[in-house]
Amino acid sequence: MARVLVCDPTDAAALDEIRRAGHEVVEKTGMTPEELVETVPDFDAMVVRSATKVRREVVERAATGRMKLIVRGGVGLDNIDLEAASEAGIDVRNTPAASSVAVAELALAQMLACSRYITVADSTMKAGEWNKKAYSKGKELFESTLGIIGMGRIGKEVARRAAAFGMSVLFYDPNVDSAGDVQARKVDLDTLCRESDYITLHVPHTDDTHYILDKPRFDMMKQGAVIINCGRGGTVNEKALLEALESGRVAFAGCDVYEEEPVKDNLLARHGNVVATPHIGAGTKGASNRVGKEVASIIVDYFKV
């Protein structure tokens, strides 16, 4: 029997599945970093989403006890110190496919909200205003060009949905030669920035992707471009994006992720031409259920006798 520590909210049915396999499940969400360090040695596995940060101190403390497996319910692994886990001999798994559709749909929703003034039109209507003329100057996705930075699972799901809107799709990804069954043309990053009406990012935050969109690339974009980031904070230079919004080079931006989270008085999130959401890309019931099932499957299979 394994003892499983659940650090972030996880689908209840999935946890019941782990229990039915004979394992003990302990839910302790919202722990401070200090509490987490003290707790981890007594468990064989831990489950985290995006809130819990599994830094080197946590991994090294876990390695003094029983810990064998860390499961990240979600796509990215940037909240886990993978180098420390490897050194400690602790396996790390994630659920890359489970939330792809949810994130892709939010990216399209952000594009539509930016293009048709959805949020500002709604807020002014609720304030009793009727600004039909002001908000009847929107853009259509139809026959526009979408540039996707990162053609992994989520990027491909975005491309499939963009095709249904009649968009032409370009992509940049040095790790992918072809988009497979998705209609998309591979280009270099500068070409993508120059030719795209909409640009959406779906890459992890690494040394290679840090500020992959910065002032020089904003300067080469079409006047009135739209930027969507439902991937990871730190891939877009927020200060440079603000400057591009002020100059009109970038007309609108949809932001679900930020350089620092949770956001505190973030100028980008408060900008009038930004549709801001609080890192809810994977926040659907369907995605939560799929993530939970995959988490349960990983743990049950790993500790199968």
The residues annotated as belonging to the active site are 232, 261, 279
Question: What value, to the nearest 5°, has the Cα angle with vertex 94 and ends 92 and 95?
Answer: 160
Determine whether 97 is exposed, middle or buried from the number of CB atoms within 10 Å of its CB (0-12, 13-18, 19+): middle
**What residues contact 235, with CB distance under 8 A and at least 6 apart?**
149, 201, 203, 205, 209, 210, 211, 212, 213, 229
**Element holding 168 (H helix, E strand):** strand 168-172
Q: Alpha-carbon distance 238 to 259, whole Å? A: 8
- Tell me the residue type at 161: R
Question: Phi-psi region for residue 279, left (φ > 0), alpha (ψ -120 to 50) or beta?
Answer: left
Q: Alpha-carbon distance 85 to 177, whole Å? A: 30
